[in-house]
Structure 1
Amino acid sequence: MALRRSASLNPTPLTRLRQALQPDWVHTMRARRIAAAALVVLAGVAAIRSDPDGDRTAAVVAARDLAPGITVTPDDVLVENRLATTLPDGSQADLGGVVGATLAGPVRRGEVLTDVRLLGSRLAKAAAGPDARIVPLHLADNAVVELVRTGDVVDILAAADSGSNAVPRVVASDAVVVLVSAKPKSATAANDRVVLVALPAHAANAVAGAALTETVTLTLH
Protein backbone atom coordinates (compact mmCIF):
# COMPACT_ATOMS: atom_id res chain seq x y z
CA MET A 1 0.00 0.00 0.00
CA ALA A 2 2.83 2.34 0.93
CA LEU A 3 4.69 1.44 -2.24
CA ARG A 4 1.62 2.19 -4.38
CA ARG A 5 1.11 5.58 -2.71
CA SER A 6 4.80 6.40 -3.16
CA ALA A 7 4.56 5.53 -6.82
CA SER A 8 1.58 7.88 -7.31
CA LEU A 9 3.48 10.70 -5.67
CA ASN A 10 6.66 10.03 -7.65
CA PRO A 11 5.56 8.84 -11.09
CA THR A 12 8.11 7.07 -13.24
CA PRO A 13 9.37 8.69 -16.43
CA LEU A 14 7.14 6.28 -18.40
CA THR A 15 4.07 7.40 -16.49
CA ARG A 16 4.94 11.02 -17.04
CA LEU A 17 5.37 10.40 -20.75
CA ARG A 18 2.02 8.59 -20.96
CA GLN A 19 0.26 11.53 -19.22
CA ALA A 20 1.95 14.03 -21.52
CA LEU A 21 0.87 12.07 -24.61
CA GLN A 22 -2.81 11.97 -23.58
CA PRO A 23 -4.94 14.00 -26.04
CA ASP A 24 -6.36 17.33 -24.93
CA TRP A 25 -9.93 16.04 -25.01
CA VAL A 26 -9.12 13.72 -22.08
CA HIS A 27 -8.09 16.68 -19.93
CA THR A 28 -11.06 18.68 -21.15
CA MET A 29 -13.50 15.85 -20.33
CA ARG A 30 -12.03 15.52 -16.85
CA ALA A 31 -12.40 19.28 -16.26
CA ARG A 32 -15.99 19.17 -17.49
CA ARG A 33 -16.83 16.32 -15.14
CA ILE A 34 -15.37 18.25 -12.22
CA ALA A 35 -17.33 21.37 -13.19
CA ALA A 36 -20.56 19.38 -13.59
CA ALA A 37 -20.11 17.82 -10.16
CA ALA A 38 -19.55 21.27 -8.65
CA LEU A 39 -22.74 22.58 -10.29
CA VAL A 40 -24.74 19.66 -8.89
CA VAL A 41 -23.44 20.42 -5.41
CA LEU A 42 -24.31 24.13 -5.78
CA ALA A 43 -27.81 23.30 -7.01
CA GLY A 44 -28.37 21.09 -4.00
CA VAL A 45 -27.24 23.84 -1.63
CA ALA A 46 -29.53 26.37 -3.38
CA ALA A 47 -32.50 24.01 -3.08
CA ILE A 48 -31.91 23.48 0.63
CA ARG A 49 -31.50 27.17 1.43
CA SER A 50 -34.76 29.10 1.77
CA ASP A 51 -35.66 31.82 -0.67
CA PRO A 52 -35.52 35.21 1.16
CA ASP A 53 -38.45 36.53 -0.88
CA GLY A 54 -40.45 33.36 -0.25
CA ASP A 55 -40.06 33.83 3.50
CA ARG A 56 -41.78 37.23 3.37
CA THR A 57 -45.48 38.00 3.32
CA ALA A 58 -47.67 41.07 3.19
CA ALA A 59 -48.81 42.61 6.47
CA VAL A 60 -50.85 45.70 7.30
CA VAL A 61 -48.97 48.03 9.65
CA ALA A 62 -49.76 51.37 11.22
CA ALA A 63 -48.45 54.32 9.24
CA ARG A 64 -48.39 56.46 12.40
CA ASP A 65 -49.37 56.30 16.07
CA LEU A 66 -53.10 55.56 16.30
CA ALA A 67 -55.48 56.20 19.19
CA PRO A 68 -58.04 53.66 20.43
CA GLY A 69 -61.60 54.08 19.23
CA ILE A 70 -60.78 55.68 15.89
CA THR A 71 -62.09 54.40 12.58
CA VAL A 72 -59.11 53.30 10.50
CA THR A 73 -58.66 55.23 7.24
CA PRO A 74 -56.42 54.43 4.24
CA ASP A 75 -53.99 57.11 5.45
CA ASP A 76 -53.57 55.35 8.80
CA VAL A 77 -52.15 52.09 7.47
CA LEU A 78 -49.92 50.65 4.78
CA VAL A 79 -48.85 47.22 3.54
CA GLU A 80 -45.27 46.04 4.04
CA ASN A 81 -43.48 42.78 3.28
CA ARG A 82 -42.33 41.30 6.58
CA LEU A 83 -40.52 38.07 7.44
CA ALA A 84 -43.21 35.46 7.88
CA THR A 85 -41.55 34.05 11.00
CA THR A 86 -41.79 37.43 12.75
CA LEU A 87 -45.50 38.05 12.12
CA PRO A 88 -47.89 37.53 15.05
CA ASP A 89 -50.94 35.29 14.78
CA GLY A 90 -53.95 37.10 13.34
CA SER A 91 -51.91 39.55 11.29
CA GLN A 92 -53.83 41.20 8.47
CA ALA A 93 -52.58 41.04 4.88
CA ASP A 94 -55.34 43.01 3.16
CA LEU A 95 -56.20 46.68 3.68
CA GLY A 96 -59.84 45.84 3.03
CA GLY A 97 -60.04 43.93 6.28
CA VAL A 98 -58.70 46.88 8.30
CA VAL A 99 -59.87 50.14 6.72
CA GLY A 100 -63.21 51.14 8.22
CA ALA A 101 -62.71 49.04 11.36
CA THR A 102 -62.53 50.51 14.86
CA LEU A 103 -59.33 50.17 16.86
CA ALA A 104 -59.71 48.48 20.21
CA GLY A 105 -56.48 49.88 21.65
CA PRO A 106 -53.57 52.21 20.96
CA VAL A 107 -51.23 51.25 18.13
CA ARG A 108 -47.68 52.43 17.56
CA ARG A 109 -46.29 53.43 14.16
CA GLY A 110 -44.95 50.36 12.37
CA GLU A 111 -46.94 47.92 14.53
CA VAL A 112 -48.56 45.00 12.70
CA LEU A 113 -52.34 45.12 13.03
CA THR A 114 -53.88 41.85 14.22
CA ASP A 115 -57.47 40.70 14.55
CA VAL A 116 -57.59 41.44 18.28
CA ARG A 117 -56.63 45.06 17.66
CA LEU A 118 -59.94 45.54 15.85
CA LEU A 119 -63.43 45.43 17.30
CA GLY A 120 -65.24 42.28 16.28
CA SER A 121 -66.07 38.72 17.23
CA ARG A 122 -62.43 37.68 17.40
CA LEU A 123 -61.68 40.41 19.89
CA ALA A 124 -64.60 39.34 22.06
CA LYS A 125 -63.49 35.70 21.85
CA ALA A 126 -59.92 36.58 22.84
CA ALA A 127 -61.15 38.63 25.79
CA ALA A 128 -63.97 36.51 27.21
CA GLY A 129 -64.20 33.12 25.53
CA PRO A 130 -65.72 31.53 22.42
CA ASP A 131 -69.33 32.66 23.05
CA ALA A 132 -68.44 36.19 24.12
CA ARG A 133 -70.34 39.35 23.21
CA ILE A 134 -69.38 43.03 23.37
CA VAL A 135 -71.68 45.42 25.20
CA PRO A 136 -71.53 49.24 25.04
CA LEU A 137 -72.14 51.06 28.33
CA HIS A 138 -72.83 54.69 29.21
CA LEU A 139 -71.70 54.98 32.82
CA ALA A 140 -73.52 56.99 35.46
CA ASP A 141 -70.35 58.71 36.63
CA ASN A 142 -68.19 60.12 33.85
CA ALA A 143 -65.25 60.28 36.25
CA VAL A 144 -65.14 56.47 36.20
CA VAL A 145 -64.66 56.55 32.44
CA GLU A 146 -61.49 58.57 32.98
CA LEU A 147 -60.06 55.80 35.16
CA VAL A 148 -60.88 52.80 32.99
CA ARG A 149 -58.35 51.47 30.48
CA THR A 150 -58.44 48.80 27.80
CA GLY A 151 -57.74 45.41 29.34
CA ASP A 152 -59.15 46.27 32.79
CA VAL A 153 -61.28 43.61 34.46
CA VAL A 154 -64.42 45.06 36.01
CA ASP A 155 -67.71 44.20 37.67
CA ILE A 156 -70.87 45.87 36.40
CA LEU A 157 -73.43 47.27 38.83
CA ALA A 158 -76.91 48.53 38.02
CA ALA A 159 -79.54 50.44 39.95
CA ALA A 160 -82.80 52.20 39.24
CA ASP A 161 -82.87 55.99 38.90
CA SER A 162 -81.02 57.82 41.64
CA GLY A 163 -84.29 59.22 42.97
CA SER A 164 -85.50 55.79 44.13
CA ASN A 165 -84.45 53.70 47.11
CA ALA A 166 -83.30 50.76 45.00
CA VAL A 167 -80.12 49.06 46.13
CA PRO A 168 -77.44 48.63 43.44
CA ARG A 169 -76.89 45.05 42.36
CA VAL A 170 -74.06 43.28 40.60
CA VAL A 171 -75.25 42.36 37.12
CA ALA A 172 -72.04 40.72 35.92
CA SER A 173 -68.51 40.04 37.11
CA ASP A 174 -65.14 39.73 35.40
CA ALA A 175 -66.01 41.74 32.30
CA VAL A 176 -63.02 42.78 30.19
CA VAL A 177 -62.81 46.35 28.90
CA VAL A 178 -62.01 46.26 25.20
CA LEU A 179 -62.46 49.94 24.35
CA VAL A 180 -62.92 53.31 26.02
CA SER A 181 -64.11 55.94 23.58
CA ALA A 182 -61.88 58.95 23.14
CA LYS A 183 -62.48 62.08 25.15
CA PRO A 184 -64.56 64.49 23.02
CA LYS A 185 -63.29 67.95 22.24
CA SER A 186 -66.64 69.50 23.08
CA ALA A 187 -67.59 69.76 26.77
CA THR A 188 -71.24 69.25 25.87
CA ALA A 189 -70.44 65.77 24.56
CA ALA A 190 -68.57 64.65 27.68
CA ASN A 191 -71.43 62.39 28.75
CA ASP A 192 -71.48 60.59 25.41
CA ARG A 193 -68.39 58.51 26.11
CA VAL A 194 -68.84 54.76 25.89
CA VAL A 195 -67.07 51.84 27.50
CA LEU A 196 -67.17 48.53 25.59
CA VAL A 197 -66.90 45.38 27.67
CA ALA A 198 -66.62 41.73 26.63
CA LEU A 199 -68.62 39.09 28.47
CA PRO A 200 -69.95 35.57 27.92
CA ALA A 201 -73.21 35.69 25.96
CA HIS A 202 -75.61 35.13 28.86
CA ALA A 203 -73.99 37.76 31.07
CA ALA A 204 -73.68 40.19 28.15
CA ASN A 205 -77.39 39.98 27.45
CA ALA A 206 -78.18 40.60 31.11
CA VAL A 207 -75.94 43.67 31.17
CA ALA A 208 -77.40 45.02 27.92
CA GLY A 209 -80.90 44.61 29.30
CA ALA A 210 -80.04 46.38 32.56
CA ALA A 211 -78.41 49.26 30.67
CA LEU A 212 -81.71 49.92 28.88
CA THR A 213 -83.68 50.65 32.04
CA GLU A 214 -81.17 51.27 34.82
CA THR A 215 -78.11 53.32 35.61
CA VAL A 216 -74.86 51.37 35.40
CA THR A 217 -71.37 51.80 36.74
CA LEU A 218 -68.20 49.75 37.15
CA THR A 219 -65.94 48.58 39.90
CA LEU A 220 -62.34 47.82 38.94
CA HIS A 221 -60.47 44.70 40.03
Structure 2
Amino acid sequence: MSRSGRKFQGQRGPAAYPGPAWNARPWPGVSELSWAGRLHHLALRRRRLIAALFLCAAAAIAVEQLTPASAPTTAVLVASRDLPAGHPLTATDYRIQALDPAMVPDGLLDPHNPAPRDGRLSGPVRRGEVLTDAALLGSGLLTGAPAGSQAVPLRLSDPSTLPLLRQGQLVTVVLSSAEGLEAAATTVVLAEKVPVLWTPGDADAGEGLLPGASDTEPVVVVAASPEQAVQLAGAINRGKVFLILLN
Protein backbone atom coordinates (compact mmCIF):
# COMPACT_ATOMS: atom_id res chain seq x y z
CA MET A 1 0.00 0.00 0.00
CA SER A 2 1.26 3.40 -0.88
CA ARG A 3 2.11 6.01 1.54
CA SER A 4 -0.78 8.22 0.50
CA GLY A 5 -3.17 5.31 1.00
CA ARG A 6 -1.93 4.66 4.49
CA LYS A 7 -2.38 8.35 5.27
CA PHE A 8 -6.03 8.32 4.04
CA GLN A 9 -6.90 5.26 6.11
CA GLY A 10 -5.63 6.82 9.29
CA GLN A 11 -7.57 10.08 8.79
CA ARG A 12 -10.87 10.48 10.74
CA GLY A 13 -14.06 12.24 9.47
CA PRO A 14 -15.47 15.54 10.89
CA ALA A 15 -16.99 15.38 14.36
CA ALA A 16 -20.85 15.47 14.70
CA TYR A 17 -22.44 18.87 15.58
CA PRO A 18 -23.17 18.76 19.30
CA GLY A 19 -25.95 21.38 19.09
CA PRO A 20 -26.10 24.81 20.73
CA ALA A 21 -23.85 25.25 23.69
CA TRP A 22 -26.71 26.33 26.02
CA ASN A 23 -28.47 23.06 25.27
CA ALA A 24 -25.37 20.84 25.47
CA ARG A 25 -24.16 21.82 28.88
CA PRO A 26 -26.00 23.09 31.94
CA TRP A 27 -25.89 26.62 33.19
CA PRO A 28 -23.18 27.41 35.69
CA GLY A 29 -24.17 26.04 39.04
CA VAL A 30 -26.96 23.90 37.55
CA SER A 31 -26.44 20.21 37.05
CA GLU A 32 -29.25 19.74 34.50
CA LEU A 33 -31.47 22.26 32.64
CA SER A 34 -35.13 21.65 33.65
CA TRP A 35 -38.23 22.39 31.55
CA ALA A 36 -38.92 25.44 33.68
CA GLY A 37 -35.45 26.68 33.03
CA ARG A 38 -35.80 26.14 29.32
CA LEU A 39 -39.11 28.05 29.28
CA HIS A 40 -37.54 30.84 31.27
CA HIS A 41 -34.64 31.01 28.85
CA LEU A 42 -37.03 31.02 25.88
CA ALA A 43 -39.03 33.83 27.48
CA LEU A 44 -35.87 35.85 27.90
CA ARG A 45 -34.99 35.37 24.24
CA ARG A 46 -38.53 36.34 23.10
CA ARG A 47 -39.21 39.00 25.70
CA ARG A 48 -39.87 41.76 23.17
CA LEU A 49 -42.41 39.68 21.27
CA ILE A 50 -44.13 38.65 24.49
CA ALA A 51 -44.19 42.26 25.71
CA ALA A 52 -45.81 43.36 22.42
CA LEU A 53 -48.45 40.64 22.75
CA PHE A 54 -49.29 41.76 26.28
CA LEU A 55 -49.55 45.37 25.12
CA CYS A 56 -51.96 44.38 22.33
CA ALA A 57 -54.09 42.42 24.77
CA ALA A 58 -54.15 45.33 27.23
CA ALA A 59 -55.16 47.71 24.44
CA ALA A 60 -57.97 45.40 23.32
CA ILE A 61 -59.31 45.12 26.88
CA ALA A 62 -59.18 48.91 27.30
CA VAL A 63 -61.09 49.48 24.06
CA GLU A 64 -63.72 46.95 25.07
CA GLN A 65 -64.16 48.59 28.47
CA LEU A 66 -64.41 52.09 26.98
CA THR A 67 -66.83 51.14 24.19
CA PRO A 68 -70.37 51.95 25.37
CA ALA A 69 -72.83 49.09 25.50
CA SER A 70 -75.60 48.98 22.92
CA ALA A 71 -78.46 51.17 24.07
CA PRO A 72 -81.80 49.38 24.65
CA THR A 73 -84.43 49.96 22.00
CA THR A 74 -88.17 49.43 21.59
CA ALA A 75 -89.84 48.18 18.43
CA VAL A 76 -92.42 50.67 17.14
CA LEU A 77 -94.58 51.05 14.06
CA VAL A 78 -93.89 54.04 11.82
CA ALA A 79 -95.67 55.11 8.66
CA SER A 80 -93.81 53.99 5.55
CA ARG A 81 -95.32 56.83 3.49
CA ASP A 82 -97.61 59.83 3.83
CA LEU A 83 -101.13 58.64 4.66
CA PRO A 84 -104.37 60.65 4.41
CA ALA A 85 -107.05 60.82 7.07
CA GLY A 86 -109.58 58.02 6.80
CA HIS A 87 -107.12 55.69 5.07
CA PRO A 88 -107.64 52.01 6.06
CA LEU A 89 -104.40 50.86 7.65
CA THR A 90 -102.75 47.85 5.98
CA ALA A 91 -99.43 46.04 6.34
CA THR A 92 -97.93 48.00 3.44
CA ASP A 93 -98.53 51.34 5.19
CA TYR A 94 -96.12 50.86 8.08
CA ARG A 95 -92.77 49.33 9.00
CA ILE A 96 -91.11 48.27 12.26
CA GLN A 97 -88.33 50.50 13.56
CA ALA A 98 -86.15 50.45 16.70
CA LEU A 99 -86.55 53.56 18.85
CA ASP A 100 -85.05 54.87 22.08
CA PRO A 101 -87.47 53.93 24.91
CA ALA A 102 -87.36 57.52 26.16
CA MET A 103 -88.83 58.69 22.83
CA VAL A 104 -91.64 56.13 22.67
CA PRO A 105 -95.06 57.83 23.01
CA ASP A 106 -97.94 56.48 25.07
CA GLY A 107 -100.55 54.31 23.40
CA LEU A 108 -98.04 52.57 21.16
CA LEU A 109 -99.59 50.10 18.71
CA ASP A 110 -98.52 46.48 19.04
CA PRO A 111 -96.10 45.78 16.16
CA HIS A 112 -97.63 42.31 15.79
CA ASN A 113 -101.25 43.54 15.85
CA PRO A 114 -101.22 47.16 14.64
CA ALA A 115 -104.91 47.65 13.90
CA PRO A 116 -108.22 45.90 13.44
CA ARG A 117 -109.02 44.75 9.94
CA ASP A 118 -111.17 47.81 9.23
CA GLY A 119 -109.02 50.29 11.20
CA ARG A 120 -108.93 53.76 9.64
CA LEU A 121 -106.68 56.71 10.38
CA SER A 122 -108.26 59.54 12.32
CA GLY A 123 -106.00 62.12 10.73
CA PRO A 124 -103.19 62.56 8.21
CA VAL A 125 -99.90 60.82 9.07
CA ARG A 126 -96.47 61.78 7.78
CA ARG A 127 -93.87 59.26 6.62
CA GLY A 128 -91.78 58.13 9.60
CA GLU A 129 -94.37 59.16 12.19
CA VAL A 130 -94.88 56.70 15.06
CA LEU A 131 -98.34 55.13 14.99
CA THR A 132 -100.33 55.15 18.23
CA ASP A 133 -103.91 54.41 19.21
CA ALA A 134 -104.71 58.11 18.67
CA ALA A 135 -103.98 57.63 14.95
CA LEU A 136 -106.93 55.25 14.55
CA LEU A 137 -110.58 56.09 14.29
CA GLY A 138 -112.53 54.85 17.30
CA SER A 139 -111.74 55.15 20.98
CA GLY A 140 -108.30 56.42 20.04
CA LEU A 141 -109.89 59.50 18.42
CA LEU A 142 -110.50 60.90 21.91
CA THR A 143 -107.15 59.89 23.37
CA GLY A 144 -105.94 62.68 25.65
CA ALA A 145 -109.41 64.23 26.00
CA PRO A 146 -111.03 64.51 29.45
CA ALA A 147 -112.76 61.42 30.74
CA GLY A 148 -116.28 61.09 29.35
CA SER A 149 -115.62 63.13 26.21
CA GLN A 150 -117.72 62.22 23.19
CA ALA A 151 -117.19 62.73 19.46
CA VAL A 152 -120.11 64.65 17.95
CA PRO A 153 -120.67 65.27 14.20
CA LEU A 154 -121.91 68.75 13.32
CA ARG A 155 -123.47 69.86 10.05
CA LEU A 156 -122.65 73.52 9.49
CA SER A 157 -124.86 76.10 7.86
CA ASP A 158 -121.91 77.99 6.38
CA PRO A 159 -119.66 75.73 4.26
CA SER A 160 -117.14 78.56 3.78
CA THR A 161 -115.96 77.91 7.35
CA LEU A 162 -114.56 74.48 6.45
CA PRO A 163 -111.31 75.63 4.76
CA LEU A 164 -110.43 77.57 7.91
CA LEU A 165 -110.66 74.55 10.20
CA ARG A 166 -107.93 72.10 11.15
CA GLN A 167 -107.62 69.25 13.61
CA GLY A 168 -107.19 70.50 17.15
CA GLN A 169 -108.71 73.90 16.37
CA LEU A 170 -110.82 75.17 19.29
CA VAL A 171 -114.24 76.48 18.32
CA THR A 172 -117.38 77.79 19.93
CA VAL A 173 -120.60 76.34 18.49
CA VAL A 174 -123.44 78.83 18.04
CA LEU A 175 -127.08 78.09 17.13
CA SER A 176 -129.16 80.78 15.42
CA SER A 177 -132.91 80.21 15.25
CA ALA A 178 -136.18 82.10 14.84
CA GLU A 179 -139.75 81.30 15.85
CA GLY A 180 -141.22 82.51 12.58
CA LEU A 181 -140.45 84.34 9.36
CA GLU A 182 -141.07 87.73 10.92
CA ALA A 183 -139.52 86.99 14.32
CA ALA A 184 -136.01 88.13 15.12
CA ALA A 185 -133.38 85.42 15.22
CA THR A 186 -131.98 84.43 18.56
CA THR A 187 -128.44 83.19 19.05
CA VAL A 188 -127.49 80.62 21.65
CA VAL A 189 -124.06 79.26 22.51
CA LEU A 190 -124.27 75.47 22.51
CA ALA A 191 -120.66 74.68 23.43
CA GLU A 192 -117.51 76.66 24.11
CA LYS A 193 -113.89 75.79 23.40
CA VAL A 194 -114.48 72.34 21.91
CA PRO A 195 -111.65 70.89 19.78
CA VAL A 196 -112.17 69.85 16.19
CA LEU A 197 -111.38 66.16 15.67
CA TRP A 198 -112.04 65.85 11.96
CA THR A 199 -112.91 67.97 8.92
CA PRO A 200 -113.83 66.97 5.36
CA GLY A 201 -110.46 68.33 4.24
CA ASP A 202 -108.78 65.48 6.14
CA ALA A 203 -110.64 62.84 4.16
CA ASP A 204 -109.40 61.14 1.02
CA ALA A 205 -111.82 60.79 -1.89
CA GLY A 206 -114.02 57.78 -1.25
CA GLU A 207 -112.33 57.02 2.09
CA GLY A 208 -113.92 59.48 4.45
CA LEU A 209 -114.07 58.87 8.16
CA LEU A 210 -117.82 59.30 8.25
CA PRO A 211 -119.93 56.89 6.19
CA GLY A 212 -121.84 58.79 3.53
CA ALA A 213 -119.89 62.02 4.11
CA SER A 214 -117.85 63.43 1.26
CA ASP A 215 -115.07 65.97 1.33
CA THR A 216 -117.53 68.64 0.12
CA GLU A 217 -120.22 68.21 2.77
CA PRO A 218 -120.12 70.77 5.63
CA VAL A 219 -119.72 68.16 8.38
CA VAL A 220 -117.13 68.31 11.14
CA VAL A 221 -116.54 66.24 14.27
CA VAL A 222 -115.84 67.86 17.63
CA ALA A 223 -115.06 66.51 21.10
CA ALA A 224 -117.62 67.49 23.70
CA SER A 225 -118.64 66.70 27.24
CA PRO A 226 -121.77 64.61 27.74
CA GLU A 227 -123.79 67.77 28.50
CA GLN A 228 -122.47 69.58 25.45
CA ALA A 229 -123.05 66.50 23.27
CA VAL A 230 -126.77 66.59 24.11
CA GLN A 231 -126.99 70.22 23.03
CA LEU A 232 -124.99 69.66 19.84
CA ALA A 233 -126.72 66.51 18.61
CA GLY A 234 -129.15 67.37 15.81
CA ALA A 235 -128.59 71.11 16.28
CA ILE A 236 -129.02 71.72 12.54
CA ASN A 237 -132.68 70.68 12.88
CA ARG A 238 -133.32 73.54 15.34
CA GLY A 239 -131.76 76.33 13.33
CA LYS A 240 -128.50 77.36 11.72
CA VAL A 241 -125.21 76.14 13.17
CA PHE A 242 -122.12 78.34 13.03
CA LEU A 243 -118.60 78.08 14.43
CA ILE A 244 -116.45 80.75 16.05
CA LEU A 245 -112.74 79.98 15.71
CA LEU A 246 -110.59 80.51 18.80
CA ASN A 247 -106.85 80.76 19.37
Q: TM-score range by the shorter chain?
A: 0.5 to 0.7
Of residues 165, 183, 188, the one that matches 1:148 is 165
Deviation at 1:140, TM superposition (A): 1.1
* Structure with the bigger percentage of helix: 1
Larger radius of gyration: 2
Structure 2 counterpart of 1:64, from 78, 81, 89: 81
Q: Distance in 1 between matches of 2:205 and 2:122?
A: 20
Q: 1:104 is matched with which residue?
A: 122
Cα distance in 2 between the residues matched to 1:23 and 1:162: 117
Aligned 8 A contact 1:153 1:177 in 2 = yes
Percent identity between the aligned chains? Answer: 32
Contact 1:121 1:133 in 2 (8 A): no
Q: What letter matches 1:83 in structure 2?
A: D
Match of 2:192 among 173, 176, 179: 173
Whether the 8 Å contact between 1:136 and 1:194 is mirrored in structure 2 is yes
Instruction: Give runs of aligned pairs for residues 1-221 of structure 1, distance below 5 A.
Output: 23=36, 52=71, 55-94=72-111, 96-98=113-115, 100-126=118-144, 128-160=145-177, 164=181, 165=183, 166-182=185-201, 191-221=216-246
Q: CA deviation at 1:113?
A: 1.0
Q: More displaced, 170-179 or 98-107?
A: 98-107
Letter in 2 for 1:74: A
Separation (CA, whole Å) in 1 of partners of 2:102 and 2:197:
28
**8 Å Cα contact 2:133-2:143 kept in structure 1:** no
Deviation at 1:147, TM superposition (A): 0.8
Distance in 1, matches of 2:219 and 2:114, equals 24
The CA deviation at 1:203 is 1.1
How far is 1:143 from its partner? 1.0
The count of residues paired between Structure 1 and Structure 2 equals: 188
Q: Give the deviation of 1:205 after TM superposition.
A: 2.4
Deviation (angstroms), 1:138:
1.7
Change (3 A) 1:138 1:209: closer
| Long gaps (5+) in structure 1 | 1-16, 28-37
Change (3 A) 1:155 1:62: same
CA distance in 2: counterparts of 1:123 and 1:144, whole angstroms: 22
State the Cα RMSD in Å. Answer: 3.9
CA distance in 2, matches of 1:63, 1:153: 30
Cα pair distance change 1:184/1:80, threshold 3 Å: closer
TM-score normalised per structure 2: 0.60
**Closer/same/farther in 2, CA of residues 150 and 162 from structure 1, 3 Å limit:** farther
